[in-house]
Structures are given as structure tokens and as C-alpha cells.
Amino acid sequence: MDRRTNLELKTRTELAAILEQCGEAADGVRYFEGDDLFALLDWLDSIRALLGDNATTLRAAVSG
């Protein structure tokens, strides 16, 4: 029987999507210049809180 809760599954999905976006941003960090780089860095700053919130929520959902 799968013991995962809806909250755990939802949070896993959201956290994985954020991490995939971060991976896609790697090329931008390597190659973007000027305003494009600053926009990417702003985006990275904005998802920092989402990463922390989702990690905390997932930790709580998994531990039970």
C-alpha cells in the first residue's frame, strides 16, 4: 500500500519541477550577458523561497 499523502505527492511534484527549471537555467548562467543574466539571477532569487518552503513541507509530509 502506498503511504504517500496527497500533500507529499503534490510537494514532490512541485519541488521536482523547480529543480528541473534550475537545471535548465545552468546554460543561462554560463552564457547570458547583461540584462539577460540579471533577469535570470532575479528569477533564481525568486525561487529560493519556493525551494525552502517545498523542502520543509516535504520533510514534514514524509516524517509524518
Annotate 15-64 with three-state secondary structure. Answer: HHHHHHHHHHHHHHHHHCCHHHHHHHHHHHHHHHHHHHHHHHHHHHHHHC
pTM > 0.85: no
- Does residue 18 form part of some domain? yes
- Does residue 6 form part of some domain? no
Alpha-carbon distance values, 17 to 3, 21, 46, 51, 64 (Å)? 22, 6, 15, 10, 23
Judged against a pLDDT cut of 50, whether residue 60 lies above it is answered with yes
Average pLDDT rounded to a whole number, residues 14-28: 93
- Does residue 4 form part of some domain? no
pLDDT of residue 43: 93
Structural domains of the chain, count: 1
Q: Which range marks the domain in which residue 34 is found?
A: 12-63
Q: How confident is the model at residue 1 (pLDDT cuts 50, 70, 90)?
A: very low
* 3 state SS of 2: coil
pLDDT for 27-50, tens place per residue?
999 999 999 999 999 999 999 989
